[in-house]
Amino acid sequence: MALRLSLRELEVFVAIAEAGTVTAAAGAIALTQSAASQALAALEAGLGVALSTASVAGCC
């Protein structure tokens, strides 16, 4: 099975890691908070793991 990730998903993940929150990261890369959360969720689904504590807690 091939691993499919988009550059946008990786960009969002890096921005969240650097900024500390999805909201701050979204602003830094000119996305809405919702779009950034969706990209993070897609990356997590593609990898099959939770990448943020918010995902583990069940919140965005």
pLDDT band at 4 (very low <50, low <70, confident <90, very high): confident
Domain layout of the chain by residue ranges? 7-50
CB 22 within 8 Å of CB 33: yes
CATH number corresponding to 7-50: 1.10.10.10
pTM (predicted TM-score): 0.83
Query: For residue range 10-51, what is the model confidence (pLDDT) as tens digits?
Result: 999 999 999 999 999 999 999 999 999 999 999 999 999 999
Q: Is the pLDDT of residue 57 over 70?
A: no
Which residues make Cβ contacts (< 8 Å) with residue 50, sequence separation at least 6?
44, 56
Position 40 scores a pLDDT of: 96
